[in-house]
Amino acid sequence: MRDFFRWFLVPFLIGCILGFTKASEGQEPPPVCQDIIGLLSEKFPVDDLVPLLPEKFCGSHLDWTFATRLTNLKKILDSGKVTDWQVDFFNGPCIRGGNCGRYEPYFGMTIAAFNAMWESGGGKLRRHLRDRVRLYCDFFANYPNVAIEFSPTLEHNLSSRAFRKQAAVIAQHCPRAVIVENPVGGVRSSGAFKIERHGTAVRGLKAPCSVSLDGNDAFDSNIPAFLASNGECRHYIWGLVYNLRLGDGPFIDPRKRKRVATTEQLRTLLRYAEPLPYSPLIDGCTGGILPPRLFKTSAEDKGTGDIRANKPLWITPFHGEAVNAFTAVGALPIGALEYYGPFEGGTFRYYSGLGVNLYGIEMAEKAEKLSGSPYVVLKEGGRCFGPFHPAYRHGSFR
């Protein structure tokens, strides 16, 4: 119970307090947005996403790497629901990793070469950035109610001098855009622009700021704790599916990736931007999930079409034919997670895909329809675990 309070209730309550404080000052709390890095890809399921968009939606994407046409972005903006949007122009991770596609204007460059070129003014890269900034600025002129932020390099390793050269291109060719500086971890910012940092370990940012899950898949992260951190900042939800990626395997060029997020995955990522409802109190249950037990809302997807993929997985020392899910309110049956086999450290695996065959978000929706609350409990024989929201991971986090 103590760990449950520490890792779940405390972050949630802190988030509520921060929101109340902002409201009491006459300010809205910073929004929670979606970091849809691969949005421009022809494979991205934008037609599935648009009908799901909430009011006052905000997001971001990476230019050029996945595609160059703005067709998918136009579909998002034409929904009329977007309030804020950010564009990242250069792909810092591929420069750092040495795996940029031949289509990138900095193909073959090292971090040092990229930095040196910008310290001396940018050369051909300055012309590329200028042209894309102009294109986007003209494009967003059709959406005057959408606030725009431009980040010249996603996760950069630049010196202050080099970054300021990039920022100057944006300031000159799109004065409307707020300039965002996104240095990779360990790299100091210039201190002159809105700061953005990535990952779940970021702490201590002060407004104006943004923080993104990018690099930590939302399905494996402690979302309440993430949203409670850096209370002055805009938060971005990110998942591997936003980069059209599987969890493991060899690197695949972004323009050749084929993984498509399911509608249920998109609905779950959007759900993470909303506050959690209150958890009911249940007598006779643990009040939380602690190691060695683990509830993964999204089991590993290896791209083989496995029915277990992306649906809940329960890992536990309990050995039986199944564990059963019930509504936290009223103990109404939702369905079984069926036994699959042993796992590490004397534990065993049970999958929704082999039993009730529901995504975590679907389990929550079924529970809410039956009982009025999205919270569920799991029962191993006579033991009860929960209540917990099944669209979120519980027990341990990556």
Q: What is the mean pLDDT of residues 218-226?
A: 97
278 occurs within a structural domain: no
20 pLDDT more than 90 = no
3-state secondary structure of 13: helix
> 206 and 325: one domain?
no
Q: Are 180 and 196 in contact (CB under 8 A)?
A: yes
Any idea what the CATH number is for the domain that residue 186 is in?
Answer: 3.20.20
18 occurs within a structural domain: no
> 300 and 264: one domain?
no
pLDDT in tens, 244-290: 998 878 999 999 999 999 999 999 999 999 999 999 988 999 988 99
pLDDT, position 16: 46
Confidence of residue 331 (pLDDT cuts 50, 70, 90): very high
Q: Lowest-confidence range among 44-48, 159-163, 301-305, 310-314?
A: 301-305
> 54 and 185: one domain?
yes
pLDDT, position 96: 97
> 111 and 168: one domain?
yes
pLDDT, position 24: 39
> 267 and 306: one domain?
no
40 occurs within a structural domain: yes
Q: How much is the mean pLDDT over the chain?
A: 93
Q: What is the mean pLDDT of residues 78-84?
A: 98
> 195 and 118: one domain?
yes
What percent of the chain stands above pLDDT 90?
89
pLDDT in tens, 316-330: 999 999 999 999 999
Of 271, 303, 335, which residue constitutes the final position of a domain?
271
348-351 β-sheet, strand order = 294-296, 313-316, 348-351, 333-342, 322-327, 376-380, 383-388
Give the sign of the dihedral formed by CA 265, CA 234, CA 104, CA 140: positive
Q: What is the mean pLDDT of residues 130-136?
A: 98
Please count the residues of the chain: 398
Q: What is the mean pLDDT of residues 83-112?
A: 98
Q: What is the mean pLDDT of residues 132-147?
A: 98
DSSP letters of 248-307?
SSS---GGG------HHHHHHHHHTTSPPPPPPP-TTS-SS--TT-EEESS----SS--T
Confidence of residue 11 (pLDDT cuts 50, 70, 90): very low
pLDDT, position 9: 47
Long-range contacts of 134-143 (CB under 8 A, 24+ apart): 134/173, 134/174, 135/70, 136/63, 136/70, 136/87, 136/174, 137/173, 137/174, 137/176, 137/177, 139/70, 139/73, 139/74, 140/85, 140/176, 142/77, 143/77, 143/82
63 occurs within a structural domain: yes
> 264 and 312: one domain?
no
pLDDT in tens, 112-121: 999 999 999 9
Question: What is the H or E stretch that residue 179 is in?
Answer: strand 178-181
2 pLDDT more than 50 = no
> 179 and 119: one domain?
yes
| Structural domain span for residue 378 | 294-388
3 occurs within a structural domain: no
> 104 and 225: one domain?
yes
What percent of the chain stands above pLDDT 70?
93
Considering the entire predicted model, what is its pTM? 0.92
Confidence of residue 26 (pLDDT cuts 50, 70, 90): low
382 pLDDT more than 80 = yes
14 pLDDT more than 80 = no
> 236 and 310: one domain?
no
Domain count, the chain: 2
> 336 and 305: one domain?
yes
pLDDT in tens, 183-218: 999 999 999 999 999 999 999 999 999 999 999 999
Confidence of residue 378 (pLDDT cuts 50, 70, 90): very high
17 occurs within a structural domain: no
> 259 and 379: one domain?
no
